[in-house]
Amino acid sequence: MSEFFTEYKTIIVFLHVISAVVWVGGMIAMKFAAHASFMEVESPQKRLQRVAHALKRLFFLVIPFVIILLVTAIIMTKAYSLSQSEYAMLAYAKEGIWSVMAINLFIMILRRNRAEKLIDKGDMVGAKFSLELIGKYMVPVNIILGVSAIFIGSYFSSNL
């Protein structure tokens, strides 16, 4: 694994970093740019429809990058023998962060799907509740976790 990594290091680290950029950057853009703009839409039904649609596109976009991030992380864990090194705890912390972010994403996908069904049924109160949880808590949690993982990544790249 170590020889494979040495040969393809640039592309592996690039794929790892670009995946983090798309996943974490996508959520930041959604929360601070797109969401604020959707709130300007006057009709509650249209507003919820726009939010649900934008989240659907974001989630579809990030799924491949979530997987690429994990695959490149596994390659680097093995190549750097992180589990046997003094950086083991930080590597476990990053694995934990990835896991919580992925579970959180999965629950957000389920909630969004539910919200879309509620919008179609005309239950705007239920749909608003589901989408509000995503925007107010679940996306910010993933942004904070993602930024922490990027910080540990920067520490790794300057120490490994």
Q: Applying CB under 6 A, which residues contact ligand HEM?
A: 13, 16-17, 20, 23-24, 69-70, 73, 76-77, 80, 91, 94-95, 97-98, 146, 149-150, 153-154, 156-157, 160
Q: How many angstroms separate the CA atoms of 26 and 37, rounded?
A: 15
Of the two residues 127 and 146, which places its CB atom closer to ligand HEM in the complex? 146
Of the two residues 109 and 124, which places its CB atom closer to ligand HEM in the complex? 109
Q: How many angstroms separate the CA atoms of 17 and 11, rounded?
A: 10
Shortest Å, Cβ 68 to ligand HEM: 11
Shortest Å, Cβ 110 to ligand HEM: 21
**DSSP secondary structure string for all residues of 45-113:** HHHHHHHHHHHHHHHHHHHHHHHHHHHHHHHHHHHTTGGGSTTHHHHHHHHHHHHHHHHHHHHHHHHHH
Shortest Å, Cβ 37 to ligand HEM: 25
Of the two residues 21 and 33, which places its CB atom closer to ligand HEM in the complex? 21
Q: How many angstroms separate the CA atoms of 97 and 86, rounded?
A: 19
Of the two residues 37 and 92, which places its CB atom closer to ligand HEM in the complex? 92
Within 10 angstroms of residue 77's Cβ, the number of other Cβ atoms is 19
